Amino acid sequence: MELKVFTNKKGNALYYMRSVRKRGKKNPTKEKVKFLGYEADLKEFYDDPIEHFRAEAKKLKTKELEEKRISLSINLEEHFPLGTAGGEEAVVDDLVSLGHLPLSVIYHELEIDQFVKNRRRHWPVGANVESIFRLLVFGRILFPGSKFSTWTQRARLLLGNSKFSDDDVYRSLGFFAQYSDDLLVHLNQKVKRLYKRDTSLMFYDVTNYFWEIDNKDADILDEDGGVVSEGLRKNGPSKEHRPEPIVQLGLFMDTEGLPVDFGLFPGNNNDVKTFLPMIRRTQERMGLNKMIYVGDKGMMSGTNVANILAQKQGYIISDSALKQDEETERFILDEEGYRTTTAYMRCSALHEEERLMDYTDSLGPYEGPQDMQQEVVVFKIKSRIVPAKKSSWVGDGSRKVKVTVNKRQIVFFSRKYQVRARINRCNAIRKAQQTGTIYNGHGANKYFAKQAYDPETGELFEKAKHVRYLDEEKIAQDERFDGYYLIETNVVGTSEHEKPWKGTARFRNYDCLFELNRVVTDQDIVEMYRGLWKIEESFKITKSHLQARPVFVRKRESIQAHFLTCFIALLIIRILELKKMNKKMSHVKIIETLQAAKVGEVQGNIYKNYCSSPYLREIGLATGLDLWKVFYTKQELRSMNNKTKDI
């Protein structure tokens, strides 16, 4: 409490003021508590009203501090009131999570609670499914584990008076799965309105998750043996090289790195086959248009590209510089047309790189002057428009049409990528020299030629042996393309003599190019494509920090509900990182900080903060919460929890 004097036409107005913290503000602000009167009027009662009320303000402030000061008494002989081993009271754990409060702010901003509550009356579950859903989403971030493990830690979250059993948790999964698609549409609308989502670029990739089971799911067949419903958990190419059944998960992400939509597919589906169902789903359900799809070379088949063009959208895909037709190879290796960036490097550093890339181990140590430098090309780029005709399946595969594709080919060279590729090849060759075999050509074994010979010079090769030797010609062929990357796209920008037009983008029907209403350089396209790493990072978050696998639920609807909670947990963390914190803190530090933030009861409704840090304070400031006090009353914790819902 303090005195503040404001001057207006009537004179000096005296107010009591108090410091308060508001959401998103780093420093506290002042708010008026009480109007005391004008100085001229108060002089009838006080010789110096300003000094009088300033002294009174100090007394009030001292009194407030005294009222908040509580003495704690500690009995060093006190023991925990434990029951018998194996009983319900066998463990005493009074720790409550503070980390769920920032998550709750975003959860309620997105109105997920209202979405679930508005639909719970249509589902025959007596328990509070909204509290269950909140537990599963927050638990996936704060204490990830199985559904039962999460249920056992429900007391760590301030879920109100709602009580539910572990059976209620499993029964509610079908409810979450039924409304999964509608919830994803709801979330997209809220993110667009609250955080100005940018879907002009849509990144797409696929990963998979494993189950620790032996047998795959069987397909449901009709009387004629036709497949009515395909099993979800199937054996397929695991990203983690595991033999267990897997499920494929496709994910769309927007320009800034916020997840947009996900879909589940049987584990034996190729990545490329998931793309068409996902773009149809995203366009139809979410009404997205004028988008540029970005994917890697394994995602964009000719059929997928043809369908993107049929829907009048844009695409950016990568392709390997190797195994191109002769004309494209000549274009890549021809130095004409490249815009080059150079830099000076120490000759000693260049020589050390050469030694790391030398699979023959023939280079000795550097012997030249230590200060000598050499100019090297670190980056170069060029592009061209390539007219072509492709014949591809369109739509559901029922018809085949010829689609004219005037694609833009961009080739760029990065010295950093070149050095990395050659060092990796050198290490692989050295390993293959020690452990390689003549019986396969995988990995670095492809660089070894194999020739049979008979040690006894007989006509029959019953005792034939093979000799392996490095095929230096093949190595040289591949080395020509080290550091080169090829990007294909139909995205172009406005030209100098083009008439002005309205809008941000348009599809040109006459040449199938997707034109942005601005200049689009080759470097712009490269930077758009490089954003694909963000979706790989999102997969890493779900698998490592959110521990989304191995998955323990088995029913199809339970699997859908599991990944729905993982998706929303990822969305909340990304919003906190990118929007609330403005990238000042990494997602790793955010998750670790929230997991560590706990309070414990020390005496009669008084809780002590056991783990605070500058990181937690920054998260609290960004979400309007005071998370770095040493002590809290139970009422204060409840008030903060309720505050997160008042959006």
Tens digit of pLDDT for each residue in 66-93?
766 766 676 667 666 666 655 555 454 6
Residue scoring higher pLDDT (138 or 90): 138
Confidence category of residue 418, pLDDT binned at 50, 70, 90: very high
The band of 593, judged by pLDDT with boundaries at 50, 70 and 90, is very high
| Distance between CA atoms of residues 577 and 589, nearest Å | 10
HEC string for 60-124: HHHHHHHHHCCCCCCCCCCCCCCCCCCCCCCCCCCCEECCHHHHHHHHHHCCHHHHHHHHHCCCC
Give yes or no for residue 199 having a pLDDT over 60.
yes
Reported as type and span, the H/E element at residue 424 is helix 415-435
In the DSSP assignment, the letter for residue 597 is -
CA distance 250 to 307: 18
Q: For residue 393, what pLDDT band results from cuts at 50, 70 and 90?
A: low
pLDDT of 11 > 50? The answer is yes
Are the CB atoms for 496 and 424 separated by under 8 Å? no
Q: State the average pLDDT over residues 92-107.
A: 87
Whether omega for the bond prior to residue 237 falls within 30 degrees of 0, making it cis, is no
What proportion of the chain, given as a percentage, has pLDDT over 90?
Answer: 40
In the predicted model, what is the mean pLDDT of residues 500-524? 90
pLDDT in tens, 220-232: 877 777 777 788 8
- Preceding peptide of 614 cis, ω within 30°: no
Asked whether residue 96 carries a pLDDT value surpassing 90, the answer given is no
Least reliable range by pLDDT among 76-80, 278-282, 474-478: 76-80
In the predicted structure, residue 214 carries a pLDDT above the cut 90 = no
Range with top average pLDDT, 94-103, 150-159, 242-251, 564-573: 564-573
Q: Round the average pLDDT of the chain to a whole number and report it.
A: 85
Query: Is the pLDDT score of 492 beyond 90?
Result: yes
Residue 127 in 3-state DSSP?
Answer: coil
442 band by pLDDT with thresholds 50, 70 and 90: low
Rounded to 5°, the CA angle 352-357-358 comes to: 95
Residues 59 and 53: beta-carbon distance below 8 Å: no
| DSSP-derived 3-state class of residue 207 | strand
Q: Output the CA–CA distances (angstroms, integers) from residue 28 to 18, 137, 322, 622, in the order listed.
A: 10, 31, 60, 13
Asked if residues 491 and 344 have their Cβ atoms less than 8 Å apart, the reply is: no
- Per-residue pLDDT, averaged over 126-134, amounts to 89
In this predicted model, what pLDDT tens digit does every residue of 318-352 receive, in sequence order?
888 888 889 999 999 999 999 999 999 999 999 99
What confidence category does residue 458 fall into, taking pLDDT thresholds of 50, 70 and 90? very low
Please choose, from the candidates 16, 5, 10, the residue with its C-alpha nearest in 3D space to the C-alpha of residue 40: 10
Is the pLDDT assigned to residue 94 strictly greater than 60?
A: yes
Q: pLDDT confidence of 403, banded at 50, 70, 90?
A: low
**Residue 616: is its pLDDT beyond 70?**
yes
Rounded CA-CA distance 267/121 in Å is 35
- Model confidence at 121: pLDDT above 50: yes
Tokens of 223: 């009387």
- pLDDT value of position 262: 95
Residue of 529 and 468 predicted with greater confidence? 529
- HSE at residue 23, side-chain half, CA atoms within 13 A, is 13
Closest CA to 147 of 543, 575, 420, 552: 552
* Domains in the chain: boundaries: 2-68
* Lowest mean pLDDT segment, chosen from 64-78, 83-97, 165-179, 562-576: 83-97
Separation CA 597–CA 96 (nearest Å): 9
Question: Which burial class, exposed, middle or buried, applies to 283 when counting CB atoms under 10 A from its CB (0-12, 13-18, 19+)?
Answer: middle
Kindly list the strands in the beta sheet with 96-97, ordered across the sheet, starting from the edge strand earlier in the chain: 96-97, 598-603, 606-609, 631-633
- Higher-confidence residue: 72 or 209? 209
List pLDDT tens digits, range 29-51: 788 888 888 888 888 888 888 88
Stronger pLDDT, 548 or 392, i.e. the higher one: 548
Q: Which of 390-394, 579-583, 632-636 has the highest mean pLDDT?
A: 579-583
Q: What pLDDT, on a 0 to 100 scale, did the predictor assign at position 67?
A: 67
Indicate the residue type of 563: F
Query: What is the distance between the alpha carbons of residues 272 and 257, in angstroms, rounded to a whole number?
Result: 22
Q: Which is more confident, 52 or 85?
A: 52
Residue from 392, 410, 379 nearest 491 by CA: 410
Of all residues in the chain, what percent carry a pLDDT higher than 70?
87
| Tokens standing for residue 507 | 């599809």
For the chain, give percent helix, strand, coil, nearest 5: 40, 25, 35
Interval 163-167 mean pLDDT: 90
Band (pLDDT 50/70/90 cuts) for residue 461 is: low
Across the range 270-284, mean pLDDT stands at: 87
